[in-house]
Structure 1
Amino acid sequence: MSETINWKELSEVERLKHESNYLRGTLVESLANPITGAISDGDTQISKFHGIYQQTDRDLDKERKHQKLEPLYSFLLRIRMPGGRFTPDQWLRMDDLSDKYANGTLKLTTRQTFQLHGVLKKNLKNTISEMNQSLLDTISACGDVNRNVMSHANPAESPFHAELIDLARKISLHLLPRSTAYHEIWLDKKLVAGGQQDQEPIYGDRYLPRKFKIGVVIPPYNDCDVFSQDLGFIAIVEKNKIVGYNVVVGGGLGSTFGMPETYPRAGTVIGYCLADQVIDVAEKVLLVQRDNGDRKNRKQARLKYTFDRMGEELFKAEVEKRLGYSLEDAKPFVLTHNGDDYGWKKGTDDKWHLTYFVEGGRVRDDEKFQLKTAVKEIAKISDGDFIITGNQNLIISGVSAPVKKKVDALLKKYGVAPTELSGLRKNSIACVALPTCPLAFAEAERYLPTLISKIETILNEFKLGEEEIVIRMTGCPNGCGRPYLAEIGLIGKSPGYYNLYLGGSFNGDRLNALYKETLNEEEILQELRTIIEDFAANRTEKEHFGDFVIRKGYVQEIREGKDFRH
């Protein structure tokens, strides 16, 4: 088949994947090269399938170049953990590895998992090997495959939580690449001669055109932003049982400045399937994307563009043709919010669950704030689990009443006991951005907390400090922090300057729209002050900020991604 492919027409990455010998590339040689802290250009693409991103410390790049040194290369490692649940032992392992090989922090991501930052090339193999001892891996956490499968996070909010997280694991396992390259390269398993025994019955030797993301939610909660996923499943409960799932297709938030043909898109509900059909539906939707996605232009390769290009009717028909049966009509559902509900809650199993706010998702210690140490000590005494939410927060989950008291005592001891938060801060997300992300134009994680404090001053002035408003900031338009679904979205344009987007819905089913572009901090605060004052005086009862700005005409409502403009 490869002899008939016109490689000149395709993205360079397509040939790279095909020639990688099922994701081996020349990673072994790159890792062994002592001359550089980097891996080869081709291997930077292949390594993503192994859950690895090569990065540099951009704060130091200029000085190192002046000293005629190569950039300070290091690597991000992302864990595959469907549904975000970790045992205390696994948390302790990650805590240890973050100190031993990384930068001493743990990053909780918007896909319900960990990232380690700052791992040097010489330590990559040891880090992954030691993860594996706790049954953790980084397989397909990145790359042109199905990524970490998300599910509803808080066990105390639904008696069906265990069923959803089990479904997330089953989907993840079914769509996992079959290549043995990961185990050979990182865990010293026996090499497959020439890779000839490897097969990818789902992916083929070129895998998907681009990344693929799946999330599962249970109404009224939308804490993993189901409309941002390539494929989403919304649980439908009847007679105290999950009978099936509405199927959401075509979400995705990445875009590029100056390229209107790229745009964020909220997913479309195309039908309903029975509970025992979900894995089949997930596979067939993925296969339609595999065979119809754009392999020429990676900026047009996500499923959202395939869906819009084919149209809903044709796309759905192609899925049903592969299924051998039709999807039913979608069932009614109501989603109320896409954030987390903080504090202790008692579950139906009489266990206690604490949803704890982690600013920017960064678990760290400093002189005054010892969250990393506190959680480490909690892991040592916990009789439950840990769950990472889709909003970068942490749930200390399933503990008994006696352990609950010990958890409170440890959080207090290390100066990180839960405090009152504004409605804005509760609903904030920031991507990593600078200094490590190579795509970032501006700050996000390091800056958003400061900006929120200044916006809080305005909100308090108008007695809106407790008003829940979703705010998200990213350093570039790629959408990793899901800024396009926020009521207030800020996307980095250049150092210190951001585009301001308004009008996303509080429950996460509507895109926002560009309000003003290339604003500095002073201008952002001036614009928001005017709107917040109007909101305080003229909102209707229980009207959310995102709905208000549309009703008052600050921005026009956007329902179709193709109508979005930067």
Structure 2
Amino acid sequence: MNDTINWDELSELERIKYESNYLRGTLVESLADPITGSIAYADTQLSKFHGLYQQFDRDLEKERKRQKLEPAYSFLIRVRLPGGVVTPKQWLQMDEISEQYANHTLKLTTRQAFQLHGVIKSNLKKTIQGINTALLDTIAACGDVNRNVMSHPNPSESELHAEVYETARRISEHLLPSTTAYHEIWLDQKLIADSKKDVEPIYGDRYLPRKFKIAIAIPPYNDSDVFSQDLGFIAIVGNNRIIGYNVAVGGGMGTTFGMPETYPRLAEVIGFCTPEQVIDVAEKVVLVQRDNGNRQNRKISRLKYTIDRLGIEAFKAELYNYLGYELQEAKPYAFTRNGDRLGWKKGTDSKWSLSLFVEGGRVADRNGFNLKSALREVAQHINGQFILTGNQNLIIANVTADEKNTVGEILKNNGVLPGEISGLRQNSIACVALNTCSLAFAEAERYLPSLVSKIESILNQHDLFQEEIVIRMTGCPNGCGRPYLAEIGFVGKSEGHYNLYLGGNFNGTRLNTLYKETLTEDDILAELDPIIADYATNRNTGEKFGDFVIRKQYVNEIVKGSDFRH
């Protein structure tokens, strides 16, 4: 025990991390315990660093309590996948793992990663070993460390995709925890009894105060929602090459109902760095947060709160002290949109990439829409890549003209080639929420598709079916689906009730504003109907929905995160 630390003043998790022997805890003992499907409380916190979340089936909760049974525990496993890129072979391996050990589906997350759901405790080790056999891993996919690094996903939209992907991969590797606990516990490497043999040169013995997120974007596309990240790198292009990156700090979506001191915040651009400085800048921003972040209250411990507490100029001064140099002045750039551009696109190398809509990011075979089977067959016939996007979609990338035709036939034969998709639906995001997320107050992934159908009926009445509008739903205010950047955002308050937020913009550079609280579905449709009608009649040429509701003062623009209210 460190006698210089007053543990009574700190979050309980600070002690758990410190006493964990560099993330080992008693995970080995918890996994071996045959009496319960769960693991010990402290180990549930440490397991996040290994890519796991303990969950239980909330649909079965009442019945299991009636039968005096413990909850139906299972685990979410998240795969670290910088830039979202996998080979066809790796896709097939993940598909097989999901069939053998999970709930037969793959979830594509808003951080360009895979999630497996429904893995029981006795299968955890075999599942993680299978993932590692695919040359993937789960370490640092969750926990108080840097998480999966995002980047622009589509190689047919930018010749610079390979470069930003490689940068994302290098950042991810550089910021990985150094502990050998992961390999010992899950991959059966020899245990190190003495924790002094482990050292964390970046994270120290208590890791970060809270999670940390990084993304890279290539203008004009903000498809990684770079301003929602703790740290964002905006590629600046000159003469068809990346000359450097604007650096944005302090974004984050999570909030807590009833705590006005918590709020979503957009990252702000503080300067420009060269490509050679990116790794150094990333590390030093992490170090500033490590040494200055709030370790007393985890609800206000993200970098955004550190910056607002210190002030942006003091934060920059601290960062420059760690770097030993100052960032250059930020360069001009412009974003025109976020979200994905669906359909086929040909790259300058004559290779083709298909951006495929995956509703809610759920890859499954359901009701004749055999997406999982189709993608399995595609993976057996192409030599390109599968690239997960930050909007829960999938890109079948870098295929030849012949492979393009093959992909089209496979999708058609499996009922997957979509019909007409509304501009609203193709810009939708939903977190998992119920039935497995313990934080959810309401449905999201299972409910948003049907709500979108009802809103589409209103849009149809006003000839707006193809109008692209960003709509996002989460089951709680933690913001996993980035709802506070949506033009229409929903956050669950209780079962069947949502807060409605309006006024985010189409390029992800403005927070939305609370419009109405605790609405039922009927309330939602009644509120949106006249606004959509007004938009159809009175919008300016080219005016997006989020800009319209601000101009017409349905809501006021949020200028800074601390002005946000639930």
Shared fold (TM-score greater than 0.5)?
Answer: yes
Residue type of the alignment partner of 1:471: I
Q: Does 1:368 align with 2:376?
A: no
Partners of 1:130 and 1:355 lie apart in 2 by 28
Alignment of 1:455-466 (within 5 A): 455-466=455-466
1:193 CA drift (Å)? 2.4
Runs (4+) off by over 3 Å: none
SS in 1 for 2:243: strand
Q: Are residues 1:350 and 2:343 paired?
A: no
1:300 corresponds in structure 2 to 300
Identity over aligned pairs, percent: 70
**1:112 match:** 112
Distance 1:399 1:470 in 2: 29
Match in the other structure for 1:537: 537
- 1:105-139 per-residue CA deviation (whole Å, 9 max, x = no partner) reads 00000000100000000000000011111101000
2:170 counterpart letter in structure 1: K
Structure-1 residue corresponding to 2:235: 235
Deviations 1:375-434 (A, max 9, x none): 001001111010000000000011111111111111011111132210100100000000
Aligned: 1:198 with 2:186: no
Q: CA deviation at 1:42?
A: 0.4
Q: CA deviation at 1:196?
A: 2.1
- Are 1:411 and 2:411 counterparts? yes
Residue matched to 1:30: 30
Aligned to 1:253: 253
- Is it true that 1:554 corresponds to 2:558 in the alignment? no
Other-structure match for 1:167: 167
Quick check: 1:522 aligned with 2:522?
yes
Q: How do 1:404-443 and structure 2 match up within 5 A?
A: 404-443=404-443
1:65-80 aligned at under 5 Å gives the runs: 65-80=65-80
| Aligned residue number for residue 497 of structure 1 | 497
Asked if 1:216 is matched to 2:213, the reply is no
Name the structure 2 match of 1:60. 60
Q: Which residue of 2 aligns with 1:7?
A: 7
- Number of positions where the alignment pairs a residue of Structure 1 with one of Structure 2: 566
Paired with 2:271 and 2:312, the residues of 1 have a C-alpha distance of 11
* Distance apart, 1:194 and its partner CA: 1.9
In the other structure, the counterpart of 1:384 is 384
- Rounded to whole Å, the distance in 1 between the matches of 2:95 and 2:64 is 30
SS of the equivalent of 2:404 reads helix
* Map of 2:137 onto structure 1: 137
Equivalent runs, 1:91-102 vs 2, <5 Å: 91-102=91-102
What is the correspondence of 1:462-473 to structure 2 with a 5 Å cutoff? 462-473=462-473
After the TM superposition, which residues 472-491 of structure 1 pair with which residues of structure 2 at under 5 Å, given as runs?
472-491=472-491
Encode CA deviations 1:288-347: one digit per residue, 9 max, x unaligned: 000000000000100000010011100011111111111111111000111100001111
Q: 1:46 maps to which residue?
A: 46
Query: Given residue 107 of structure 1, which amino acid in structure 2 is its aligned partner?
Result: K
Indicate the residue corresponding to 1:16 in structure 2. Answer: 16
CA distance in 2, matches of 1:481, 1:214: 16
Distance in 2 between residues matched to 1:242 and 1:560, nearest whole Å: 30
User: Using the alignment, how far apart are the partners of 1:367 and 1:217 within structure 2?
Assistant: 36
SS state of the match for residue 403, structure 1? helix
Task: Give the 3-state SS of the residue equivalent to 1:157 in structure 2.
Answer: coil
CA-based RMSD of the aligned residues comes to 0.7
Aligned-partner residue type, residue 44 of structure 1: T
Give the aligned residue type for 2:127. Answer: T
Residue 135 of structure 1 aligns to which amino acid in structure 2? Answer: L
Which residue identity lines up with residue 95 of structure 1 in the other structure? D
Where structure 2 has 5 or more consecutive residues not aligned to the other structure, the ranges are none
Give the TM-score normalised by structure 2.
0.99
Question: Aligned equivalents of 1:491 and 1:382: distance in 2?
Answer: 40
Letter of the 2:478 partner, please give it: N
CA–CA distance in structure 1, aligned partners of residues 32 and 195 of structure 2: 20
| Deviation of the 1:3 alpha carbon | 1.6
Matched to 1:235, the amino acid is A
Stretches of structure 1 that go unaligned for 5 or more consecutive residues are none
